[in-house]
Each structure stands twice: as C-alpha cells, then as structure tokens.
Amino acid sequence: MFQKILIANRGEIALRVLRACKELGIQTVVVHSTADADAMHVRLADESVCIGPPPSRDSYLNIHQIVAACEITGADAVHPGYGFLSENAKFADILAAHNITFIGPSGDHIRIMGDKIEAKRTAKRLGIPVVPGSDGAVTEEKDAKRIAAEIGYPVIIKASAGGGGRGMKVARSEADLVVALQTARSEAGAAFGDDAVYIEKYLEKPRHIEVQVFGDGAGRGVHFGERDCSLQRRHQKVWEEAPSPALNAEERAHIGGVCARAIADLGYSGAGTIEFLYENGEFYFIEMNTRLQVEHPVTEAIAGIDLVHEQIRVASGGGLSVRQEEIRFQGHAIECRINAEDPRTFTPSPGTITHFHTPGGLGIRVDSGVYSGYKIPPYYDSLIGKLIVHGRNRVECMMRLRRALDEFVVDGIKTTLPLFRDLVGNPDIANGEYDIHWLEKYLAKED
C-alpha cells in the first residue's frame, strides 16, 4: 500500500480523495494555486505545496511543478481526481518514468480513449455496440455526403479530440452537412489543435446512460451498474441518478456484462466509465472516460462501495476487493450538481459565501469544499458542491431530496439550488420520463 498520496486537484474532489486516504491510513499531500491557499483541501491535508499562480495552466496543469512537489514531499502516488490532468497520458507516462504511481489506467489506455475515433474502433472490436457512422475521420465533402446518405439524416459531426460537450454540429440535410463539416473542422482545429472529425447518426430522443467499470489490470473486469445522466444543459450533466429509471434488470445485467468483459479483454486498470446513448431499447457507445466521474457517488450509494478506496487498492497492486457476484444494488440515489451560477442564465457567480448550511439526516451526503466565509475564486469550474440522496426506492429518494433541498442554505452568491427545487416538483422528473433534450426544452419554456 502507498505511504503518501499527492492529490493533484482542488475543490470537492480533492476533499473526496483526501477522505479516502485518511480512512486507509495514507498520508496526504495537496497542491494548490495561490488563489486556493484558504481552500478546505489545503486546511485538511497533512502537507501542502503551492505550485503556482491562479491560472490552471500555471498551477493545476503544470506537470513539472506537480512532479517536483512529489519529489520534495516523497509522495509515492498521485490521484488526479477528474478534469485537469486526469486524462493526460503524458502526465501518466512522466509519473511512471519517475517511479511515482498514477492512480488511474496506463498512459496507453488513456491515449486510446482520449481519441474518440480510436475509442470507437476499440469499443467495436471489444463487442460494445456503437452509434452507426463513419469508420474513421472524414475530411472530404463527398465522403461525408455518402456516409450521411447511408446512415440517414440527421447526423452529428463530432471532433475526435472533443470533450466537455464541445465541438459537435448537427446536420439535418445535405446542405447543412457541407457547412457543418467545415465549421466543425475549423472549430476542432482551433479548440483542440486537431481538426479530425467523424460522423454519427444523430439520435433524436436518447437517454444518456453510462456504466461504471473497474479493471484490475490483470484481466479481471467488473461493473457497478449504470447511471442515468440525461438531464443536461449544453451537453453538461446537471442531475444524475442510479439506477436509470429507464432500464429493467435484464438490460442492466446485459450491458453491464458486455462492459465488464470489454474491460477485462482490454487489460484495463482502475476506474472507467463507458458512456452510451440509449434509445428504443438499444445502447450506442459514445465514449469512455478513463477516470473517476463527478457523479460517482450515486453508484457508491447504491453499491455501498467506496470507489476511491477501490482505485487506490487497484493502483497499489492489491486488486479489486469484490467479485461481480458480490456487487449488489440497494435502493435509488440522485445527485444534484450545485454550481455557483445564476439558476436562470447560468452565468458564474463567484464571491464570498456568507452562510453555508448543509442538510443532514439518513441518506444524505454532501460533497463540498466550501464553508461559511469562503471566497470562491473566479478562475475555476463553478461546481461548489454535490448533494447526493439515497432512498429505498425512487419515490423515497425524491421525497428525501425535496426535504434536503429545502434545508440547504448558501447565502452571498447565486447557486443552481432553485433549479433543483423546481425540478424535484416536476411531473416528468417524478415519473423519470426525460431524455437528453428535456432540460434544455424546460429551461427555454421557463424563460
């Protein structure tokens, strides 16, 4: 087991990892920018190292500073959290070259899944169902037209290097396609430094369903069921739940089994998420994330297993603590992402939190790095906390969520809490009847 883990992240996820390390008796080092000197993760860690000025590229993305912080403090492993360097293959390789364990998969696996065209090819080879579309990158207009005609309109053009919901264009006709191909390529080139794009069938009313997987790196793979993350705004998840209200036990076992086998065949190590669009009873792979996800706590709630403990165990060579048949799901869990944003316009609302009161009681978990008097710096993501609620079934979970949202107080800044208070009372949400466009349509109506 590791002696000392360096956490290369900030905010709620830094705290989340820190808690897991403390439970396992592992010393913790955190790194931080000058803007985060007062952050909770810095206060609670055994050691902290300031690695640079506020902009992420000079601090949380500064590989050399982070490696130097490991060397100075004697950390033997790094947990990257999510975002920042968590899916940076070069970072994983550099750590390996310094004999420091990256708590995540190999650089090669990160590289495969980071390139969406390569990821899709790999998924197909491993027997995972994919969205119909081009076999690889599309550069010529005539190829784009031919492929779109074959799969049928509407189609979506996506950047191979894309991420965070950026770099996607929908085309409903051949005339649209010509323009969409050009704009998608130039936007992808400007945003990601790689203008490779590919074409997929555009699904009109899918749900976003993702499977949590784990590999031990030695040919074993398990799945921890699915999460439904269909409630999205601008392709960003807002509300996540487990299990999905749309799946039955048979579908769950089937897709879980397909994913676990794929992970085993790949020789994958650590946590991963295989993301699908789900429509008319069919699953279509869209991408795989090679890290812990923001929404992992809903899985932890229903599986009763700490996924960060599991990541640390696997990375230290201790293997998975559970076999597939030992993983059982209980009840229902929902997560609300609380952002420091205006609940209507979604413009960021940094500033000082004058009062912060979190709900409590049975089935309530709040993962947050903020506190009363904390000043939210304007430089980073606007996520300030996550409310995760667990109940014996979806109805109980929703009742508890409503109560918890009423209890939650964040004064001094605007947050997305009012949006969740509206959503929890909505009949479509109560019935679990929503697809990936539901939230955008709802927000448009409210304006």
Q: Work out how close the CB of 275 gets to ligand ADP at its nearest, in angstroms, rounded to a whole number.
A: 5
Please say whether the dihedral angle defined by the alpha carbons of residues 439, 378, 164 and 332, taken in this order, is positive or negative. negative
Nearer to ligand ADP, 116 or 220 (CB): 116
- Regarding 187 and contact with ligand ADP (CB under 6 A), the answer is no
268 and 252 Cβ atoms separated by less than 8 Å: no
Residue type, 334: I
Nearer to ligand ADP, 209 or 366 (CB): 209
Q: Work out how close the CB of 345 gets to ligand ADP at its nearest, in angstroms, rounded to a whole number.
A: 21
Q: Work out how close the CB of 198 gets to ligand ADP at its nearest, in angstroms, rounded to a whole number.
A: 10
2: left (phi over 0), alpha (psi -120 to 50) or beta: beta
User: Annotated catalytic, 220?
Assistant: no
Residue reference for tokens 């539901």: 438
Q: Work out how close the CB of 436 gets to ligand ADP at its nearest, in angstroms, rounded to a whole number.
A: 4
301: left (phi over 0), alpha (psi -120 to 50) or beta: alpha
Contacting ligand ADP (CB under 6 A), which of 6, 110, 404, 436?
Answer: 436
C-alpha pair distances (Å), 81 with each of 35, 102, 363: 19, 11, 24
- Regarding 435 and contact with ligand ADP (CB under 6 A), the answer is no
Cα angle vertex 318, ends 328, 22, to 5°?
A: 80
Burial class (CB in 10 A: 0-12, 13-18, 19+), 104: buried
- Regarding 32 and contact with ligand ADP (CB under 6 A), the answer is no
Nearest Cα neighbor of 202 from 434, 433, 441, 435 is: 435
Contacting ligand ADP (CB under 6 A), which of 172, 235, 254, 357?
Answer: 235
Single out the catalytic residue among 291, 337, 365, 400.
291
Nearer to ligand ADP, 362 or 444 (CB): 444
Write the DSSP string, 336-392.
EEEESB-TTT--B--EE-SEEE---STTEEEEE---TTPEEPTTS--EEEEEEEEES
Nearer to ligand ADP, 284 or 420 (CB): 284
Per-residue binder mask for ligand ADP (CB under 6 A), 259-298, x = binder: ----------------x-x--------xx-----------
Nearer to ligand ADP, 213 or 366 (CB): 213
Half-sphere exposure of 85 (CA within 13 A, CB side): 31
Nearer to ligand ADP, 165 or 373 (CB): 165
CA-CA distance, 369 to 351, in Å (whole number)? 15
75 and 4 Cβ atoms separated by less than 8 Å: yes
Taking CB under 6 A as the binding criterion, the range among 38-46, 100-108, 179-187, 200-208 that sits at the site for ligand ADP is: 200-208
Q: Work out how close the CB of 256 gets to ligand ADP at its nearest, in angstroms, rounded to a whole number.
A: 19
319: left (phi over 0), alpha (psi -120 to 50) or beta: left
Strand partners, 212: 273
Per-residue binder mask for ligand ADP (CB under 6 A), 124-163, x = binder: -------x------------------------x-----xx
Q: Work out how close the CB of 164 gets to ligand ADP at its nearest, in angstroms, rounded to a whole number.
A: 5
CA-CA distance, 308 to 54, in Å (whole number)? 27
Nearer to ligand ADP, 166 or 309 (CB): 166
147 alpha-carbon distance from chain centroid: 31
Contacting ligand ADP (CB under 6 A), which of 2, 91, 202, 268?
Answer: 202
Nearer to ligand ADP, 65 or 212 (CB): 212
212 and 271 Cβ atoms separated by less than 8 Å: yes
- Regarding 200 and contact with ligand ADP (CB under 6 A), the answer is yes
Contacting ligand ADP (CB under 6 A), which of 232, 273, 368, 415?
Answer: 232
- Regarding 208 and contact with ligand ADP (CB under 6 A), the answer is yes
Instruction: Count interface residues toward ligand ADP (CB under 6 A).
Output: 21
Catalog residues that contact ligand ADP under the rule CB under 6 A: 131, 156, 162-166, 168, 200-203, 206, 208, 232, 235, 275, 277, 286-287, 436
Could you give the residue numbers annotated as active site? 291
